[in-house]
């Protein structure tokens, strides 16, 4: 079950939100929410539900033991064992095939590589649970004495599958004493409708353009301009797709009295690569900053040590995204540009902002090309094809027709990934405060927008029952 499906919107989530509205007791609300969350997770494969239950139990148990202990060495040992178990479980499911494939390449063994299916959401809930245990160790949050409440935190269906990575300290108060204000409920509906439309209309539309010339099975024969067009559409798609999931998660949280932090802040408007990563997948970036980079020394050390810290962070960032060399290269690709910005190109800040934005977009554009193809030979074919080095044509009639047929759609998508809509709404809100007629028009439009978006989304989803989000596979 995915957010962008009719069964989820009209049956599962509608039932969930009705129970949350009619049940007044917080404890009962949490029990019902836990039930919905476990059903949602089990829908994708009930055989992996015990894994989620088990990892949550491990972290619940060790966090209590860490809090009880007054011995520093024992606390460190408990933290190390718990974190090690969680990371080992993640590695077994996510990287066994990758490591054994590489081992077989060099040694010839094993003869048969086992096919390990990646449990959905394991990368996200593993990091959430690790952050919880570390925060208990640091004294930044009190341990949860009730296992089922920690399980509610780790399994919340709003964000368990594909983020954002929510820290326990951010929503503990909401879980224990949540109330849903009417204005927040309305805001949540709007945010959910925006996210659904982003996915069902914009992201899926961009995917259709990207797959035309930028899919793994036809990229080597695509015209150069077709590959560029496909890469551009994919760049729009991956932002619209992932930010749509975050929008929907945040919106559903607001409707249930839970406040999740923002996960995107218009990253394609960034003025540097560093700025891009402060705006893109903020929950993951902040996780690596707070639990890897800073503990390694962060910026409080020599330049050489800072570079090594950055290398560790970006190697792990790439590896977290998938068990494939292209993700590792993608992480190291950003490491190189961050080192250039921080240590080599000291005059970068003096360049005019519009030019800096274009330079960042160019870096991000080619980064997504690396990210797209797990097969390195296909990645090489895509990069060569962009320069007509596959004996492919520069362009053809199909590219011209695809561009002309989608030009206005792509322009709209470009506007959608910028803060333009936010600024326009702010202007109209300012005008409405000074004019009664404008206030009435603004109120009506503000109420109709989510309705219109839901209708358009339902039309786009009808007959297309499965619309998986890109980050489901990570």
Residues with a known catalytic role? 321
* Torsion on CA atoms 301, 303, 304, 310, rounded to nearest 10: 80
468 Rama class: left (phi>0) / alpha (psi -120 to 50) / beta: beta
Question: Which tokens sit at 195?
Answer: 């996210």
Return all residues near 10 (Cβ < 8 A) that are at least 6 apart: none
Return all residues near 18 (Cβ < 8 A) that are at least 6 apart: none
Closest CA to 458 of 2, 11, 18, 10: 10
CB neighbour burial string for 441-474, b if at least 16 within 10 angstroms, e if fewer: ebeeeeeeebeebbeebeebbeeeeebebbbeeb
Measured CA to CA, the distance from residue 154 to residue 49 in angstroms comes to 12
Q: What are the angstrom distances between the C-alpha of 190 and each of 88, 237, 424, 435, 438?
A: 40, 21, 16, 24, 20
Closest CA to 163 of 43, 48, 26, 3: 3
Q: What are the angstrom distances between the C-alpha of 203 and each of 1, 217, 244, 332?
A: 18, 21, 8, 27
Closest CA to 365 of 227, 263, 242: 227
Measured CA to CA, the distance from residue 370 to residue 180 in angstroms comes to 43
Measured CA to CA, the distance from residue 162 to residue 376 in angstroms comes to 25
CB neighbour burial string for 394-428, b if at least 16 within 10 angstroms, e if fewer: ebeeebeebeeebeebbeebeebbeeeeeeeeeeb
Measured CA to CA, the distance from residue 320 to residue 313 in angstroms comes to 10
Question: Which tokens sit at 437?
Answer: 């007629």
Return all residues near 17 (Cβ < 8 A) that are at least 6 apart: 252, 255, 256
CA angle 255, 256, 258 (to 5 degrees): 105
Q: In this structure, which long-range contacts are made by residues 37-42, counting pairs with CB atoms below 8 Å and at least 24 apart in sequence?
A: 37/152, 37/155, 37/156, 37/157, 37/160, 38/155, 40/1, 40/12, 40/157, 40/160, 41/120, 41/121, 41/155, 41/157, 41/160, 41/161
């Amino acid at each position: 079950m995915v957010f962008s499906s009719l069964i989820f919107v009209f049956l599962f989530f509608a039932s969930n939100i009705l129970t949350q509205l009619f049940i007044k007791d917080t404890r009962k609300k949490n029990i019902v929410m836990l039930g919905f969350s476990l059903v949602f997770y089990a829908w994708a494969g009930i055989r992996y539900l015990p894994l989620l239950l088990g990892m949550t139990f491990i972290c619940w148990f060790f966090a209590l033991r860490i809090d009880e202990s007054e011995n520093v060495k024992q606390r460190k040992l408990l933290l190390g064992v718990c974190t090690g178990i969680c990371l080992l479980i993640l590695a077994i499911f996510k990287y066994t095939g990758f490591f054994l494939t590489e081992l077989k390449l060099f040694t010839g063994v094993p003869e048969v590589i086992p096919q390990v299916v990646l449990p959905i959401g394991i990368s996200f809930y593993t990091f959430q649970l690790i952050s919880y245990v570390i925060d208990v160790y640091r004294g930044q949050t009190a341990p949860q004495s009730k296992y089922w409440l920690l399980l509610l935190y780790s399994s919340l269906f709003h964000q368990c599958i594909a983020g954002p990575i929510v820290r326990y300290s951010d929503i503990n108060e909401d879980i224990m004493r949540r109330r849903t204000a009417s204005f927040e409920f309305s805001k949540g509906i709007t945010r959910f409708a925006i996210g659904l439309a982003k996915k069902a209309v914009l992201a899926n539309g961009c995917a259709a353009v990207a797959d035309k010339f930028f899919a793994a099975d036809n990229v080597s024969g695509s015209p150069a301009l077709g590959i560029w067009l496909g890469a551009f559409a994919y760049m729009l798609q991956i932002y619209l797709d992932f930010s749509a999931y975050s929008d929907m998660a945040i919106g559903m949280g607001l409707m249930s009295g839970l406040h999740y932090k923002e996960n995107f802040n218009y990253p394609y408007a960034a003025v540097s690569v560093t700025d891009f990563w402060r705006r893109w997948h903020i929950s993951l970036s902040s996780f690596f900053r707070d639990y890897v980079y800073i503990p390694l020394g962060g910026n409080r050390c020599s330049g050489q040590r800072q570079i090594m810290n950055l290398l560790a962070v970006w190697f792990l960032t790439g590896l977290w995204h998938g068990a494939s060399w292209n993700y590792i290269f993608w992480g190291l690709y950003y490491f190189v540009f961050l080192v250039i910005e921080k240590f080599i190109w000291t005059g970068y800040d003096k360049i005019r902002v519009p030019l800096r934005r274009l330079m960042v977009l160019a870096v991000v554009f080619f980064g997504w090309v690396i990210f797209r193809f797990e097969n390195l030979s296909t990645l090489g074919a895509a990069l060569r094809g962009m320069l007509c080095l596959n004996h492919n044509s520069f362009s053809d009639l199909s590219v011209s027709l695809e561009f002309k047929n989608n030009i206005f759609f792509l322009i709209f998508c470009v506007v959608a990934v910028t803060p333009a809509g936010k600024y326009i709404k702010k202007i109209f809100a300012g005008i409405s405060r000074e004019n009664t007629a404008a206030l009435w028009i603004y109120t009506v439009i503000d109420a109709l927008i989510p309705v219109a978006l839901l209708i358009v989304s339902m039309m786009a989803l009808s007959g297309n029952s499965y619309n998986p989000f890109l980050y489901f596979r990570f």
